Structure 1
């Protein structure tokens, strides 16, 4: 079973026990994090329904907060003496996936809640129209 989660504008394929480096998330070491799910694959079953995925969170634990490798940026223009050197290090969170919600639990809960609610008839409502206004053009 694996899931595709979205965080920080990127999507990651994760399974239980995976450790991944993602963009900085708030939290200290040992805190639990819930990630939104885009897709869940359990054998031959693929779940993409938004309502079903809302009940299937991916749970993770913050392993550490750190920074990625240094990326060096150099700009150069010929014959003008223009040289610009710059560097960047991305803030990262190392996350261990501890669980993916159960796919089979959601359909049973949906059927149960549907049987508890009695069906009600919709009353007929009259449609009203907005009053018209005559506009004179000169």
Structure 2
């Protein structure tokens, strides 16, 4: 954000809370403090978009950034990121589960990669 734009916005500091050396506890505490009904209304009003400007205190953000940087690969290392979808309704009907899985696949890999055989690119190497 530019200096000019940031001077027009007055942001209050995040609420004071005890410092913690455990980032997961800090995130859990921040989540407990959220007004979820108001956030849900904002999410729906803004077209499936939500911005939290005061989620964690600066020192807690710095801890998370440091942990993220510590996980970056070093020389001769490869890091792999695995993602999971948590379906809250284990009784989800097969058609809705298929839609959910396709949504995730397209969002993660991209439309072209998911449907490359249908689009005429039967090469499985993705090149």
TM value normalised by structure 2: 0.21
Which has more radius of gyration? 1
Which structure has more helix as a fraction of its residues?
2
Q: Choose between structure 1 and 2: higher strand proportion.
A: 1
TM-score, with normalisation over the residues of structure 1? 0.20
